[in-house]
Structure 1
Amino acid sequence: MYRILVILSFILYNASFGLAATCELLTPLGSEGAEIGIIMIPGANYPGERYIPLAKSIQAAMPSAKLWFGVTEGWLVDTPNPIEIAGAINSCRSQAENQQLGGKLYLAGHSLGGVMLEQYLQDQNNMATVSGVILFGSYLTDFLFGDDNNYAVPALTVIGSIDGLALSYAYREWRETQEANVPEMYPVYIAENVNHAQVGSGDVPGFVKDRDIAAVMDDDSAHLIYSDIVSTFLIMQNQDMFDAGLVETAQAHHLELVQYTESFLGPFHEAYAMEAIMGDNNWMIRGQEIMAQLTESDGMKVDNLIVPFDELGETKPSVEMSGDCAGTVKTYSTPEYDWDAFDAGVLTSASVIKAKFKLEDVVRENLCVPVLERRQCKDINEAAYKLAMEMASEDALSRFESVGTKLFFLDDSVSPWGPGWEYSGGLHYKNVNKTHTSLYSTSLISEPDFIIASAAGMHYCDLLSPYRALEWIYIQSVVGK
């Protein structure tokens, strides 16, 4: 916070001397066609001029349009901020007007630039002047808008399939868009094989390099992918301004993008349900099966209830018999998420699932089978990790196997009392070396003859969600390498 205050003070001081962000205007390549303007807000520590190659690529992708592009630059400390943004945008507008350029205006932002333009558009007077928003490696932040993507204007979210900084938010944004009133106004596309840095060009800021996934193509090739997506979005949102052939081509490309995005996000969709949705796919069901070494074919059903953390302490797993040697195990879970005040910079999967199982000894005795050696939370976590590797795409798994940091699992740390598990701090990771990280879980076991009968025969775990394991494979283990 102190650093932010220092930066803002520096910006205010310099702004008082007339030093502020300005605009470099790229005039249209042609003189006829649909007139559209785009103004670009850069990411943190990215000089604005590094977006000129992308801007030119977008103009080249739309030769039938009269497309002008304003690249904002000269930001103090090369970082967009709420103090300079209005002046930078107005500079682009003024230059365009001086050259008699107008048409529909779209604001584009990369990374932090997307957040800044969204904040700028909180003012309804500003919102009234734009026709849409284009977000590169950024998204409609929940801390500004909540989890509702019903935005006032069309909004494109495009995130690279190897964007180490924004990929975790891609599935969430896609899910929220599916729930919007008019989802086609707010498309979320995954750009194949491009990363976060490649929206810009040239040298990559150190903090981005440390958090991004290594590029697999050159910047020019990446810009072609991004520009094709932008042109598709602009044509789809303004079909009355383009001829039928271009609209038909854009519709076909849109369907390809939708299909690729849904396919890419399929494993994330499946893994999300395992941690956050009650039902047959909830990971707790598989967890109890691993603990008890029984399945439904052995007469054991599992019914899990997801509860808030403040209610978890009062819940007690049980076995409800439905006949001789058959019954339903009632379990409880609470997915916990990383604190994310500014909706940026964390993984969106659960950092831990607080899981309450019925002790396997009790379950097996009720189902009339011999008691076996007890298992650990470690066994469920290893299964989650294995499942995530099976769910991952070939590309993601190949990258992970080549450069990713591998997890290995240590025996559980068994807490001697309830609060020691309840407030365990989650899963415990330790970097062992450049290639491996260890992980262990805190558990709590109450014996069948525990003095408090209502709390007897329990096995509580801190679990690795298959969703978090998937994000480890796709993102956390491979960034900065």
Structure 2
Amino acid sequence: IGQYVSSFVGVTFNPEAGKVEEAQRHLEYYFQESGTRFLPLLGVKGGAQGSASPWAQICQAKVAGSLVTKTTINNEILSLLPFLASKPSIQNLGGGAVVNTTALVAYPENPIDVATQMESPVEIGVKMKSREAIRKSLGVTLPGFPQATEVLKLDAEANITCKDLNQIAFQLALDNSTQEAQERYAQYGRPITFKDDLVYGTGIQWSSTGLIIEESDAGLLVQGVALVTPVSSFLFPGMHYCKVMSPYRAMEWINVDSLRAQKTVNQVEVFLNCLELIHRELGRHLLFKLLRTYTPHFLNCLERIQRTF
């Protein structure tokens, strides 16, 4: 970290020091290295932005099970009030089902841009159609009693839970992290524990309860919130609602937050080490100038760097 800061200071504030070209080479290398390091995070971040949520579509595909081959899945990300009023729908078009789902992406409140606050969504609420509803729309009937094994297979596919989806989000995040990040998490990271779903019977209860995430020294506990209705329901037949973790949040945990308990130095020690390196590389005069003018900015910068590395 000290070398990063020293190179930046040398190029920005002390161009006559004679080491500018070397510092620029360092910064170019660090920039390229950062691109490789952050590419997986930027990839999953894009999945939580825009007009549709690819993760919500994956969730619906998992719920659909083997029927996904006959299903087209659409999604729309909505703001809070439209999402609360929305209902997923299903149509049978030419022997295939078109399922329209909605999603609400909830981010943590961070009005003063605190660097240690997580950047990823707190949760993603997804309103889907159940597998039973898709099967009914397609006109697929369950096998008779002689094919009991197939009945059990279909029932098992229908039992996809929000917990299952959270585990899939974690696995997607882990598989798409860099090899270095995977090894670091395996050695130093705090684990995630997934609890069985908190299941509600009404939309009001489901809407008013957020994804349960509890962080401790032991790790992260995640519990999905579910609402599933039968196709025989008079008002809201064949609904499958979930409050789930996003792959972006899971990747942020793997790459950043799970490692917080493993810090061996605090911010003051890192700051002092950086100042020592700047003094050695660039001289006392520039060091005193920086201390007078830029100490608050350095502290904020170091906090962000520590959070990343």
**Same fold by TM-score greater than 0.5:** yes
Greater RCO (CA < 8 Å, at least 6 residues apart): 2
Are 2:191 and 1:410 aligned?
A: no
**Structure 1 residue ranges without an equivalent (≥5):** 1-221
Are 2:47 and 1:274 aligned?
A: yes
Aligned-pair CA distance for 1:429: 2.9
Aligned-pair CA distance for 1:468: 0.6
CA distance in 1, matches of 2:208, 2:181: 34
Do the aligned residues in 2 keep the contact of 1:351 with 1:427 (CA within 8 Å)?
no
1:427 maps to which residue?
212
Are 2:100 and 1:337 aligned?
A: no
What's the C-alpha RMSD, in Å, of the aligned pairs?
2.6
Which residue identity lines up with residue 464 of structure 1 in the other structure?
Answer: M
CA distance in 2, matches of 1:408, 1:447: 29
Q: Deviations over 1:305-357 (max 9, x none)?
A: 00001111111111233311x13211111111122232213201101101111
Match of 2:166 among 352, 359, 381: 381
Q: Deviations over 1:357-398 (max 9, x none)?
A: 111111133345555332101111000011111122233222
CA distance in 1, matches of 2:11, 2:37: 19
2:166 alignment partner, SS class: helix
Match of 2:239 among 425, 449, 458: 458
Percent identity at matched positions? 24
Do the aligned residues in 2 keep the contact of 1:389 with 1:397 (CA within 8 Å)?
yes
Give the direction of change, closer, same or farther, for the CA distance of 1:362–1:392 in structure 2 (3 Å limit): same
1:231 maps to which residue?
10
CA distance in 2, matches of 1:416, 1:305: 24
1:262 maps to which residue?
35
Give the direction of change, closer, same or farther, for the CA distance of 1:234–1:387 in structure 2 (3 Å limit): farther
Give the direction of change, closer, same or farther, for the CA distance of 1:253–1:478 in structure 2 (3 Å limit): closer
1:349 maps to which residue?
120
CA distance in 1, matches of 2:43, 2:70: 26
Total equivalences in the alignment: 247
Do the aligned residues in 1 keep the contact of 2:11 with 2:20 (CA within 8 Å)?
no
Do the aligned residues in 1 keep the contact of 2:7 with 2:27 (CA within 8 Å)?
no
Are 2:224 and 1:441 aligned?
A: yes
CA distance in 2, matches of 1:295, 1:391: 27
Aligned-pair CA distance for 1:403: 2.5
2:304 maps to which residue?
none
Give the direction of change, closer, same or farther, for the CA distance of 1:318–1:290 in structure 2 (3 Å limit): same
Pairing of 1:56-71 with structure 2 (within 5 A):
none
Do the aligned residues in 2 keep the contact of 1:427 with 1:463 (CA within 8 Å)?
no
Tell me the TM-score normalised to structure 1 length: 0.47
CA distance in 1, matches of 2:112, 2:160: 39
Do the aligned residues in 2 keep the contact of 1:405 with 1:477 (CA within 8 Å)?
yes
CA distance in 2, matches of 1:347, 1:255: 27
2:257 maps to which residue?
476
Higher helix fraction (1 or 2): 2
Moved over 6 A (4+): none
Larger Rg belongs to: 1
**Structure 2 residue ranges without an equivalent (≥5):** 143-153, 263-309
Give the direction of change, closer, same or farther, for the CA distance of 1:250–1:356 in structure 2 (3 Å limit): same
2:77 maps to which residue?
306
Do the aligned residues in 1 keep the contact of 2:211 with 2:223 (CA within 8 Å)?
no
Which residue identity lines up with residue 5 of structure 2 in the other structure?
Answer: Y
1:421 alignment partner, SS class: helix
2:63 alignment partner, SS class: helix
Tell me the TM-score normalised to structure 2 length: 0.72
